């Protein structure tokens, strides 16, 4: 039986980061992945393919928009197969970085198969191989959650794992779930000519975002997609080559039948833990997730859980961060606490949504109205966005009374790029005023954030005691 210092189960972002980091520090590492290719959901079904599709769809959308504005004529339909080929090429290019050969070159034993715990220090792989480890990392990710409604097992529905195999755009598509994944892909597919209807249980989109930001995105999306809010999927029927779904309004109980050509299930995610045999290792779970402490340890201190399986923040960059922390905690026993305080995320709709830290509502609830400041700038007042004729959006920064950043939010074209500066500032304890002192080239999109920060100094310099003091000084200086 092979024995290892660290056994990593799962070859996605978290698992690869932990395995590579541990091996580079001299640990003997085994990496077990059930699929033949490494890279996980992000590379094959998530971040990479979705962004490749989004970029292609945006190019098509912009071409139509520009043609209409400049009096040009565009003929024919955009071929979604070309976009899917771009998706495939992107995956293949990045796959080289996540190849078996690369990780084996780092001294890691890469094993293909599904792992099941035999006890707290031993796992068995599907080929019958048993592996013993001092410490383990569970990094098996998540998969689409499929609600068990009547008839769902009789139709060929799409998920994020199959939608990138489309050869042609369906004429009509229903999307179950108005979360980030559902909306990013819905908007993209619609730009290839599909009539898309989104079924969402809540009364509005983006319930966790600033209200103005959510409203801005929703207004834009409603120009491209149809929505049924406060609604649930009740039944699915197959009629010839069409799918008929029964949708019920949760408030009124009104039932409606929609006929579509494709059904995209995007109702959430579930952690991949069913076949791990966690009960054999004494690892506790709660609501389907592996329970971890602030050091990412499970109920068994030598077994760690990172990424989507622990239910903290289901993002690839968070999984990578947790993977790095594992190297310190699992390999060296440093016991560093995980913190999500300075972790941002982006929703890649068009326009994009950027989120960091507390919202205004959360900040007021935590610190009190009198202890926070809010600085907001509309993009229609920022020269570069005016020049681009793309002024829909805003920046909002929440601070304490001394200017320390509590949260930052934005909506606008490529907001995920030009808001990164404030992540650095918040991570390193800078105040909002410090961003105002950074010299930015003119005209750039980053001026939106700088001008928001300028408001801090404008308030300091032109309100309160400072103007009176400076007025006296100027008179004396003359």
122 and 11: one domain? yes
Strands 255-260 and 242-249: antiparallel
Does the pLDDT at position 394 exceed 70?
Answer: yes
d(CA 336, CA 329): 6
393 and 456: one domain? yes
CATH code of the domain in which 218 resides? 3.50.50.60
Does the pLDDT at position 88 exceed 90?
Answer: yes
- Is the distance from CB of 304 to CB of 298 less than 8 angstroms? yes
10 and 135: one domain? yes
Residue 117 lies in a domain: yes
User: How many angstroms separate the Cα of 245 from the Cα of each of 185, 238, 256?
Assistant: 20, 9, 8
Burial 401-425 (b: 16+ CB within 10 A, else e): eebebbbbbbbbbebbebbbbbbeb
Residue 393 lies in a domain: yes
Per-residue pLDDT, averaged over 311-340, amounts to 93
Does the pLDDT at position 467 exceed 70?
Answer: no
Q: Which residue has the tokens 């299930």?
A: 265
Question: With the C-alpha atoms ordered 390, 396, 397, 401, is the resulting torsion angle positive or negative?
Answer: positive
Compute the chain's Rg from CA coordinates. 25
Residue 478 lies in a domain: no
* Residue 127 binned pLDDT confidence (cut-offs 50, 70, 90): confident
Is 200 labeled as ligand-binding?
yes
* Helix/strand/coil for 118: strand
Is 279 labeled as ligand-binding?
no
Is 184 labeled as ligand-binding?
yes
| Per-residue pLDDT at 63 | 95
Where are the alpha helices (H) located in 149-304, listed in sequence order?
Answer: 180-190, 211-221, 278-281
Q: Which residue has the higher pLDDT, 475 or 374?
A: 374
- Is the distance from CB of 245 to CB of 233 less than 8 angstroms? yes
118 and 202: one domain? no
Residue 82 lies in a domain: no
- Is the distance from CB of 242 to CB of 261 less than 8 angstroms? yes
Q: What region, left, alpha or beta, does residue 200 occupy, with left being phi > 0 and alpha being psi -120 to 50 degrees?
A: beta
CATH code of the domain in which 398 resides? 3.30.390.30
pTM for the whole structure: 0.94
Angle at 235 between CA 233 and CA 241, to 5 degrees: 110
294 and 323: one domain? yes
* Residue 237 binned pLDDT confidence (cut-offs 50, 70, 90): very high
Per residue in 271-289, pLDDT (tens digit) is 999 999 999 999 999 999 9
Which of 150-164, 196-210, 322-336 has the weakest average pLDDT?
322-336
What tokens were used for 344?
A: 């941002």
260 and 178: one domain? yes
User: How many angstroms separate the Cα of 82 from the Cα of each of 78, 93, 95, 188, 382?
Assistant: 8, 17, 20, 13, 36
Q: How many domains does the chain have?
A: 3
Is 140 labeled as ligand-binding?
yes
Residue 55 lies in a domain: no
Is 193 labeled as ligand-binding?
no
Q: Which one of 225, 251, 267 terminates a domain?
A: 267
Helix (H) or strand (E) holding 97: none
* Residue span of the structural domain in which 418 resides: 351-462
Is 141 labeled as ligand-binding?
yes
Is 183 labeled as ligand-binding?
yes
Which of 101-115, 202-216, 453-467 has the weakest average pLDDT?
453-467
Does the pLDDT at position 474 exceed 80?
Answer: no
Burial 159-174 (b: 16+ CB within 10 A, else e): bbeebbebeebbebbb
Is 333 labeled as ligand-binding?
no
139 and 276: one domain? yes
Residue 68 lies in a domain: no
Tell me the residue ranges of DSSP E strands in 379-446.
394-400, 405-412
160 and 139: one domain? no
Tell me the residue ranges of DSSP E strands in 10-163.
29-33, 109-112, 115-119, 122-125, 130-138, 142-144
What tokens were used for 438?
A: 């950074």
- Residue 310 makes CB contacts below 8 A (sequence gap 6+) with 289, 290, 291, 292, 296, 322
What tokens were used for 209?
A: 């975002």
Per-residue pLDDT, averaged over 394-400, amounts to 98
278 and 133: one domain? yes
Question: Torsions phi, psi of 463, nearest 5?
Answer: -125, 155
Residue 93 lies in a domain: no
Question: Torsions phi, psi of 341, nearest 5?
Answer: -60, -40
Is 76 labeled as ligand-binding?
no
Is 410 labeled as ligand-binding?
no
- Percent of the chain topping pLDDT 90: 90
Is 142 labeled as ligand-binding?
yes
* Residue 460 binned pLDDT confidence (cut-offs 50, 70, 90): confident
d(CA 252, CA 255): 9
Per-residue pLDDT, averaged over 383-411, amounts to 97
| Residue 329 DSSP class | I
Strands 226-228 and 195-199: parallel
219 and 110: one domain? no
* Residue 105 binned pLDDT confidence (cut-offs 50, 70, 90): very high
Residue 468 lies in a domain: no
Q: Using alpha carbons, select from 40, 44, 41, 18 the residue that is nearest to residue 31.
A: 18
Q: Which one of 214, 247, 267 terminates a domain?
A: 267
128 and 210: one domain? no
The overall average pLDDT reported for the chain is: 94
| Per-residue pLDDT at 374 | 97
Q: Using alpha carbons, select from 353, 364, 71 the residue that is nearest to residue 212.
A: 353
13 and 133: one domain? yes
């Amino acid at each position: 039986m092979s024995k290892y210092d660290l056994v990593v189960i799962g070859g996605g972002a978290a698992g690869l980061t932990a395995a590579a980091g541990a091996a580079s520090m001299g640990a003997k590492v085994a990496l077990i992945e059930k699929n033949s290719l490494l890279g996980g959901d992000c590379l094959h079904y998530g971040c990479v393919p979705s962004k490749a599709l989004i970029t292609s769809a945006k190019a098509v959308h912009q071409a139509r928009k520009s043609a209409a504005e400049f009096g040009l004529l565009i003929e024919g339909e955009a071929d979604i197969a070309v976009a899917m080929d771009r998706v495939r090429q992107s995956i293949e290019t990045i796959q080289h970085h996540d190849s078996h050969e690369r990780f084996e070159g780092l001294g890691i034993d890469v094993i293909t198969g599904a792992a099941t715990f035999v006890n707290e220090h031993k796992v068995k792989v599907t080929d019958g191989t048993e592996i013993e480890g001092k410490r383990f990392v569970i990094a098996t990710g998540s998969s689409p959650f499929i609600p068990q409604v009547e008839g769902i097992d009789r139709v060929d529905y799409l998920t994020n794992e199959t939608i990138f195999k489309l050869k042609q755009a369906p004429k009509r598509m229903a999307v179950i779930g108005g979360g980030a994944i559902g909306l990013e892909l819905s908007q993209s597919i619609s730009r290839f000519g599909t009539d898309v209807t989104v079924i969402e249980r809540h009364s509005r989109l983006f319930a966790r975002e600033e209200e103005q930001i959510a409203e801005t995105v929703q207004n834009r999306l409603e120009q491209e997609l149809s929505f049924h809010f406060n609604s649930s999927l009740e039944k699915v029927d197959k009629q010839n080559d069409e799918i008929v779904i029964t949708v019920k309004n949760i408030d009124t109980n009104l039932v409606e039948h929609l006929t579509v050509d494709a059904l995209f299930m995007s109702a959430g995610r579930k952690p991949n833990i069913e076949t791990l045999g966690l009960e054999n290792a004494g690892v506790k779970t709660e609501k389907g997730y592996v329970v971890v402490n602030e050091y990412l340890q499970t109920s068994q201190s030598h077994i760690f859980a990172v990424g989507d399986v622990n239910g903290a923040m289901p993002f690839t960059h968070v999984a990578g961060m947790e993977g790095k922390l594992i190297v310190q905690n699992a390999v060296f026993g440093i016991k560093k606490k995980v913190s999500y305080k300075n972790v941002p995320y982006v929703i890649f709709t068009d326009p994009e949504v950027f989120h960091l830290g507390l919202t205004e509502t959360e900040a007021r609830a935590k610190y009190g109205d009198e202890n926070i400041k809010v600085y907001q700038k509309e993009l229609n007042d920022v020269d570069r966005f005016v020049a681009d004729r793309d002024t829909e959006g805003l920046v909002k920064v929440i601070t304490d009374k001394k200017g320390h950043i509590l949260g930052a939010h934005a909506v606008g074209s490529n907001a995920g790029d030009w808001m990164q500066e404030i992540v650095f500032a918040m991570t390193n304890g800078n105040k909002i005023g410090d961003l105002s002192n950074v010299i930015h080239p003119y005209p750039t999109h980053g001026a939106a954030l700088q001008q928001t920060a300028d408001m801090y100094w404008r308030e300091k310099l032109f309100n309160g005691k400072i103007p009176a003091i400076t007025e006296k000084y100027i008179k004396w200086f003359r």
